[in-house]
Amino acid sequence: MKKAFVTLVLLLAICTSILAGTMAVYTTQLEIGSGSVVAKEFIFLGEGAESFGQNVKIAPTETVNWNFSVKNYDGSYITETDLYYKLEFFVSKTEGKIKAIEPLIISIKDGAGNLIKSIETNEGEGSAIVYGTFPLSNEGQSEAYNVEVYWPSTDNDINFAGHDYGTSINVTAIASQIPFGGSEPGGGGPGSGEPGGGDIPEEPEDSGIVVRYRSTEPYNDIFYYDITIVNNSGITLRNWEIMFDCEDSLVIGWPTNFQVLSGYPNYHIKHPEYWKDIKNGESVQFGGNATGTGNRPITSVKIIVDGNVIYDNIVPICEYNLNELSY
């Protein structure tokens, strides 16, 4: 009996030992690392607001100038993304006055004094928009502008003389990481449903970009064409490209070395290396022979700058069945 009891105790000890072993597991903990993110700098500042005077006196044949600039840095801190901006100019009757001074000519110029555009007015009131961009860079960038108010001599100047007449010019600036009316870098356009889509400010019709398409009268379905891009946007179109649709088959024959990224019917044309930029006030032109009816327009015109669609609401000027393309 005693021997059986000892054997039973021994068996229980062995079972308990085995059971305890099966309930134990190895555990350990490692410190893999830690990370954090910080926001990139996005700086957009204006300078020269003090040059805009209030109630500055002006008379026929006289000119008033206001100068300002915008920049993408503050001291040693520089914007760390592409920065697109638009300047909005509003001309209106000064508060408390009967009317605006209608004869005034108000011009927007760059820092070198080159005309960007004149503000069209109706009864002395109007508006204009100028676009600009600061591409991503390790260096801070700035652009200077001038607002020129000129009163030319006219026969009805006396009708606007005195303290009852005054004109105000207000300038505002808006900056965005993505192009106005374009698509976010690396993503889709507005409402596309692709990454990068979303609410993007719409591009006004007056972008300052003119695209002109001309074609000759076809002979046996063969004709000649040219396309001209005129840049009056106020900025340099760097590394420009153009996209458009056309139901005629177009071949680029001149100038040489244009890069055709896609052809008929969805054309995508990139600049040659010797013609990478279109400065404000300049234009480029290319063309060649084509086959088709010769009277089909180019549509869905887009201008790409530094890889991003900046202007995509361009309505081209189209001329067909010309006897020749004169230059």
Show the domain range for 290.
209-322
Largest CA distance in the chain: 138
Q: How many CB atoms lie within 10 A of CB 35?
A: 5
Q: Which pLDDT does position 252 carry in this prediction?
A: 87
Q: Between the CA of residue 4 and those of 8, 9, 10, 11, 15, what are the distances in Å?
A: 6, 9, 10, 11, 17
* Domain end (from 133, 157, 176): 176
Tokens of 317: 């000027």
Q: Which pLDDT does position 190 carry in this prediction?
A: 29
Residue 19 maps to a domain: no
Q: Between the CA of residue 19 and those of 9, 16, 221, what are the distances in Å?
A: 15, 5, 93
Rounded Cα–Cα distance for residues 158 and 59 (Å): 10
Rounded Cα–Cα distance for residues 249 and 246 (Å): 7
Residue 126 maps to a domain: yes
Rounded Cα–Cα distance for residues 289 and 215 (Å): 9
Q: Which pLDDT does position 235 carry in this prediction?
A: 82
Residue 185 maps to a domain: no
Rounded Cα–Cα distance for residues 24 and 22 (Å): 6
Question: What is the distance of C-alpha 179 from the center of its chain?
Answer: 4
The overall pTM is greater than 0.85: no
pLDDT digits (tens, 9 = 90+) for 25-37: 888 888 888 888 8
Q: Which pLDDT does position 15 carry in this prediction?
A: 54
Q: Which pLDDT does position 296 carry in this prediction?
A: 92
Q: Are 280 and 166 in the same domain?
A: no
Q: Are 49 and 171 in the same domain?
A: yes
Q: Are 85 and 159 in the same domain?
A: yes
Instruction: Kindly give, in sequence order, each residue whose CB lies less than 8 Å from that of residue 301, ignoring residues fewer than 6 positions away.
Output: 211, 242, 243, 244, 312, 314, 315, 316
Q: Which pLDDT does position 249 carry in this prediction?
A: 93
Count the domains in the chain.
2
Angle at 109 between CA 103 and CA 112, to 5 degrees: 140
3-state DSSP assignment of residue 17? helix
Q: Between the CA of residue 156 and those of 126, 153, 210, 269, 275, what are the distances in Å?
A: 20, 9, 35, 51, 48
Can you give the CATH number for the domain in which 282 is found?
2.60.40.290
Q: Which pLDDT does position 200 carry in this prediction?
A: 35
Rounded Cα–Cα distance for residues 283 and 19 (Å): 87
Q: Which residues of the chain have pLDDT under 70?
A: 1-24, 180-207, 326-327
Q: How many CB atoms lie within 10 A of CB 46?
A: 16
Can you give the CATH number for the domain in which 140 is found?
2.60.120
Q: Which pLDDT does position 10 carry in this prediction?
A: 55
3-state DSSP assignment of residue 174? strand
Integer Rg of the chain from CA: 33
Q: Which pLDDT does position 215 carry in this prediction?
A: 93
